[in-house]
Amino acid sequence: DESEVAEITHYLEKKHKKKVQSNFHGIAKGKNVIVIFLESTQGFVIDKKVNNQEVTPFLNKLKNESLYFPNFYHQTAQGKTSDAEFIVDNSLYPLAGGSVFVRKPKNEFMATPEILKKYNYYSASFHGNDSQFWNRLTMYDSLGYDRFFSKEDYDVNEENSINYGLKDIPFFEQSMPYLSSLPQPFYAKFLTLTNHFPFLLNPEDQFIPELETDQGVVNRYFTTVRYEDEAIKSFFEQIKDTELYNNSIFVLFGDHYGISKSYNDALSEVLGHEITVKDQVELQKVPLFIHIPGMEGKVVNTVGGQIDLRATIFDLLGVDGKDQAFSFGTSLLSKEEDRLVVFRDGTFTTDRYIYAEGTCYSKDTGSKVKRNKCSPYFNQVQNELNYSDKIIYGDLFRFFKK
Ligand code: GP9
Ligand code: MN
């Protein structure tokens, strides 16, 4: 109710007061925003070589021409890709069970497309799977998308599809004419699909051979990530041939993990080390690149999560904080001390500590440390998750829209 709205607003205002304006504020004002969801792509594939071959040769190069965030974590739960979409478009946490897309699609939201509408942006989503998957068609309406290009907008046949739908290379290829025809400026998101469990790929699409551990999922993963990398490369080649390239910024990030705990034996063999409780949290890092044509590359070491991505994009676009009611994230480009990344199950990390399975760990040494290093964050962790849940279950944006 209204008193909850006041309490949460107070909490968030206090939180956001801490931040210092970044040096990047407004540098991409008015540009198109192209967000690419890298399906199941975890941070460890970047700069990784298997059998002496790079897994992501294109992304490794793109890194040098982008803001690159090596300490960025996914925060998804059971809603997987739909959670990633929900988090990024709303700067809220996903639910502990199920997907907000399926459970609360009729809520009021103040999502990115709606906020950007005030800045004359058009919003579209591109995805080579059925429009009803994850209830997207319905939810996108609530989020304010103007157009959803889904399976029915593409030429999808047996040859150019695998697993859930259209392969990434033809997906980007067929998307180009649609993208070029959008009113500008636009906010466009592309959801890739080929690097999806159980990581299937036809022999002719395999740019590196599968590995030979005794877990096929791990063996195939590196090969499908390599295919995805090739698809991103082909997308950049095509868009560089258009005038869109210089008028756009590109945000690429991993939506969630691809290799679950159950495959840790084979994964640890490939990574060359044992996977501890602390490593398990670090494995939830996903790559994040923000490529702004004409701008030099830079590694941004800020610790953050998907919840911070919208604030980061808005920082670059110069979109004001006052447009962001109930927004939990803070820009990864702003200098803020003592950042906190909260995972849905209550696990959390700062730049120095990890709290997981009831134990506090030092990130530096990997060893257990005294609980009082982590306990100062306990309250905030609970507040973040509880307040976000209250907004969703109470449909609290209703009160803002009045
Ligand atoms: C399906 C795609 C993959 O449309 O978003 O879904 P996931 O299983 O990763 O949530
Ligand atoms: Mn996914």
Residue 236 CA to residue 231 CA, distance in Å, equals 9
- The ligand placed nearest to the CA atom of residue 83 is 1
Is residue 355 within 8 A of residue 348, CB to CB? The reply is yes
What is the model's pLDDT at position 19?
Answer: 74
Query: Which residues have a Cβ under 8 Å from the Cβ of 3 and sit 6 or more positions away?
Result: none
What is the model's pLDDT at position 318?
Answer: 96
Residue 391 CA to residue 371 CA, distance in Å, equals 31
Select from 74, 131, 193, 259 the residue to mutate for testing ligand 1; criterion: most ligand atoms less than 8 Å from CB: 193
Could you give the 3-state DSSP secondary structure of residue 239? helix
On the question of a cis peptide bond just before residue 209, with omega within 30 degrees of 0, the verdict is: no
DSSP letter (8 states) at residue 269: H
Secondary structure percentages of the chain, helix, strand, coil, to 5: 40, 15, 45
Residues within 6 Å of ligand 1 by CB: 80-82, 129, 133-134, 164, 191, 193, 196
Q: Give the count of beta carbons closer than 10 Å to the beta carbon of residue 355.
A: 23
Q: Where are the beta strands (DSSP E) in 192-282?
A: 248-254
Is residue 121 within 8 A of residue 318, CB to CB? The reply is no
What is the model's pLDDT at position 84?
Answer: 99
Nearest alpha carbon, ligand 1 atom 9: 81
- Looking at the DSSP bridge assignments, the partners of residue 214 are none
Per-residue pLDDT tens listing for the chain (402 residues): 899 999 999 999 999 987 778 999 999 999 999 999 999 999 999 999 999 999 999 999 999 999 999 999 999 999 999 999 999 999 999 999 999 999 999 999 999 999 999 999 999 999 999 999 999 999 999 999 999 999 999 999 999 999 999 999 999 999 999 999 999 999 999 999 999 999 999 999 999 999 999 999 999 999 999 999 999 999 999 999 999 999 999 999 999 999 999 999 999 999 999 999 999 999 999 999 999 999 999 999 999 999 999 999 999 999 987 777 899 999 999 988 889 999 999 999 999 999 999 999 999 999 999 999 999 999 999 999 999 999 999 999 999 875
What is the model's pLDDT at position 351?
Answer: 96
Sign of CA dihedral 389, 390, 395, 396: negative
User: pTM (2 decimals)?
Assistant: 0.98
In single-letter form, the type of residue at position 347 comes to T
What is the model's pLDDT at position 402?
Answer: 57
Place of tokens 């480009």: 333
Residue 348 CA to residue 364 CA, distance in Å, equals 16
81 an active-site residue? Answer: yes
Nearest alpha carbon, ligand 1 atom 6: 81
* Interval between CA 362 and ligand 1 midpoint (Å): 34
- The ligand placed nearest to the CA atom of residue 127 is 1
- The ligand placed nearest to the CA atom of residue 255 is 2
Place of tokens 């991409």: 28
On the question of a cis peptide bond just before residue 183, with omega within 30 degrees of 0, the verdict is: no
Select from 83, 129, 130 the residue to mutate for testing ligand 1; criterion: most ligand atoms less than 8 Å from CB: 129
Spot the catalytic one: 81, 224, 347, 349: 81
* Interval between CA 171 and ligand 2 midpoint (Å): 16
